[in-house]
Chain A
Amino acid sequence: MAQIPNLGNAPINLSSIRDQSQKELLNLLRNIRGKKCLVIDPTLSGSLSLLVQTSLLKEHGAELRHLSADPVQTDCTTIVYLVRSQLHLMKFISSHVQNDLSKGLKRDYFLYFVPRRSVACEKILEEENVHDRMTIGEYPLYILPLDEDVLSFELDLAYKECQVDGDTSSLWHIAKAIQKLESAFGVIPNVRAKGKASVRVADILNRMQAEEPVNSSEPGLPEINTLILIDREVDMVTPMCSQLTYEGLLDEFLRINNGSVEVDSSIMGHQQEGKKIKVPLNSSDKLFKEIRDLNFEVVVQVLRQKATSMKQDYAEVTTTNQSVSELKDFVKKLNSLPEITRHINLAQHVSTFTSKPSFLSRLDMEQTFVEAESYDICFEYIEEMIHKQEPIVSVLRLLILFSITNSGLPKKHFDYLRRELLHSYGFEQMGTLNNLEKAGLLKKQEAKSNWLSVKRALNLIVEDTDTANPNDISYVFSGYAPLSIRLVQHAIRSGWRPIEDILKFLPGPHSESKKSGFSSSASYESLSGNGSLTNSANKINSGRRSLVLVVFIGGVTFAEISALRYLSAQEGMPYDLIVATTKLVNGHSLTETFMDKWS
């Protein structure tokens, strides 16, 4: 099965976006004459694999290499670099060029920044005296469709850059990406934002709109009705909890990377041992589409059912005489066998992790942290984890959860735990602690925590959650309803007005704006609260459901996407939801961005 997802069922024409990016990349290669060696930033190669098949690149006369510190080994006289604007990559490139020069090799260099060139990077090239030797351009890849309803801006470090380094250039990228969507699907009339970064993006978007109005080629109604911007900063609780949906658990244990996981071939029932194979995970796989958003407990049951019914059919075929058409049906069913086998293998592998007592007790603890009613138990649990030197990322995840739900730790405990951490994991972790502190994820308690009121007002802890027949989004965490998605729920239903008191307890400002009419002069009026969105939606509603685009700045987890899909599938829900994010994350990957690497 192809790794590149089929976008045919997307609520808006996402394949056109992908096709355009693909065409731009191929044009770029075509415009450089002759054979060339394409040197790709390794972190980009995953994204590119969702965009274009490598064979297609080869057809355009390109040899492929990954960018590293080592010089490029190739016979080509033309080198094309495709990189993000990261300073350390510039050092690699300039050392390549200098290396070639010292050997007397004469080559042509092309350097394409994704998605945009940066002054700082070019400065480095100038300092290294290689700037004049290269042709510099841009490859404007702003949006990458990951699935029918998920878009990624592929900005891995956006959250850390904003929170710790104070580098907000990623916000500009996000606004640019949204503008790109607007130019394809019309200006989005309603914008709702919560969190510092979200409000900034909304502002930048307004400014862009004023400076160069989007000319939507098709006059008429915009395809996307509402834009909801949520800053990850607003809800750091959810990503720190272990996801319990099938896709979420696959990500927690196996790390889903650009829509696929890599597992040992023995797990997938193949003979050769030690070989890794890639398993693509997207909605082109019908069975996966059916079960990805379900709570894992249920997934096991569904798979069992499928397998037994298959077995029954098989028994019927072998024992009774059946007509040709019945046989045909059976054979058709057999076609789904590889999918079933694939997911039974994966699910079995995941269950080896989930059945461990340590995992179950951790889940229990996470619940206790979120409930935030037994401070001492939580404190002692973390203390013991540190003493046992459990993996530092797991410890930090809980510590962040602890700090946020208590709006910081009392000074005595704050210093004590920090000291124990340094003692157990080494003083090198000082930088990590400092980063977390800067981002407000680990701090000294200064005021009483509002978490309990937030929890109560937004009904975040739902008793007796039925994971099999969910009646609320809380099923994705078996009892905890993700805060971020509760906010989205409110934003869709009634706008911010009715929950303003609660929003004040959460970090960052919020904003709400409406672009009147579809004239290019953007004037704004605040929404008059209750139900106005639903009304306008009803007016527009002519057979097709209108769209809400939910953007998570700083990353989103699979479990949250599942919760949104669940909402979108509810009866009486007048909207289709699509999700866009800077990156798909989980607690581990998000925490790791804050860790300084000493290598």
Chain B
Amino acid sequence: LLWKESWELGKNPMASKGSALHGPRIKLIEKAQHLFFETKEHNFESKAAEEHSKLLRIQHELEVATKQAIFVDSSISDTIRTCIVLGNHKAAEKVKTEFKVSDKRWYWLKVFALATIRDWDSLEKF
């Protein structure tokens, strides 16, 4: 039952997509995380929820910094790509370390992103 309840919670924030207020959404996800945490077998889900709320916070900061509402609701990989495309390599690095993105994935993302903006020089150097 607890499991089901936490699932409802996990789904809820996604349903309220597009709302300008991300505060309540993050809270909901955190609550879901705790619920998952209480049952032993949902370790994975709990961690995922934790990462999700962390991602939303970072995306929110990025949106404030860049004044562009393009980050929230995209995945971690998408966020890194967007950062590189915008030339904000420092932010991209930060997201990478924050979520322990493997080097393998990081290289793919960077190559794709640099190719998108035709930044051949950086691609060469890299």
- Asked whether, in the complex, the Cβ of A389 is within 8 Å of the Cβ of B10, the reply is no
| A414-446 interface code vs B (CB 8 A; 1 in, 0 out) | 010011101111111011001000000000000
CB distance from B66 to the nearest CB of A (A): 20
Judged by a CB distance under 8 angstroms, whether A383 is at the interface is: yes
Say whether, besides A388-B108, A434-B7, A598-B15, A422 and B74 are in contact (CB < 8 Å).
no
Q: Which residues of A contact B11 (CB under 8 A)?
A: 431, 596
Say whether, besides A426-B75, A427-B52, A383 and B101 are in contact (CB < 8 Å).
no
- Asked whether, in the complex, the Cβ of A430 is within 8 Å of the Cβ of B45, the reply is yes
A window 380-426: CB within 8 A of B: 383-384, 386-389, 415, 418-420, 422-426
A window 432-479: CB within 8 A of B: 434
Judged by a CB distance under 8 angstroms, whether B94 is at the interface is: no
CB distance from B9 to the nearest CB of A (A): 12
- Asked whether, in the complex, the Cβ of B48 is within 8 Å of the Cβ of A430, the reply is yes
Interface of A (DSSP majority class): helix
CB distance from B56 to the nearest CB of A (A): 9
Q: Which residues of B contact A425 (CB under 8 A)?
A: 75, 77
CB distance from A19 to the nearest CB of B (A): 45
- Asked whether, in the complex, the Cβ of A415 is within 8 Å of the Cβ of B75, the reply is no
Give A contacts to B, CB under 8 Å. 383-384, 386-389, 415, 418-420, 422-428, 430-431, 434, 596, 598
- Partner of B44 from the list A384, A386, A389, A415 (CB cut-off 8 Å) is A415
- Asked whether, in the complex, the Cβ of B44 is within 8 Å of the Cβ of A428, the reply is no
Give B contacts to A, CB under 8 Å. 7, 10-11, 14-15, 17, 44-45, 47-49, 51-52, 55, 73-78, 99, 101-102, 104-105, 108-109, 112
Q: Give CA–CA (A123, B78) in the complex, Å.
A: 43
Interface of B (DSSP majority class): helix
20 pairs, CB–CB < 8 Å, chain A vs chain B: A387-B105, A387-B108, A389-B77, A389-B112, A415-B44, A418-B44, A418-B48, A419-B47, A419-B48, A422-B75, A423-B75, A423-B77, A423-B105, A424-B105, A426-B74, A428-B14, A430-B10, A431-B14, A598-B14, A598-B17
Closest 4 CB pairs of A and B: A426-B75, A427-B52, A423-B76, A387-B105
CB distance from A438 to the nearest CB of B (A): 11
- For B7, B51, B76, B78, which residue has the most chain A Cβ atoms within 10 angstroms? B76
Q: Which residues of B contact A418 (CB under 8 A)?
A: 44, 48
Q: Which residues of A contact B104 (CB under 8 A)?
A: 383-384, 387
Q: Give CA–CA (A383, B108) in the complex, Å.
A: 11
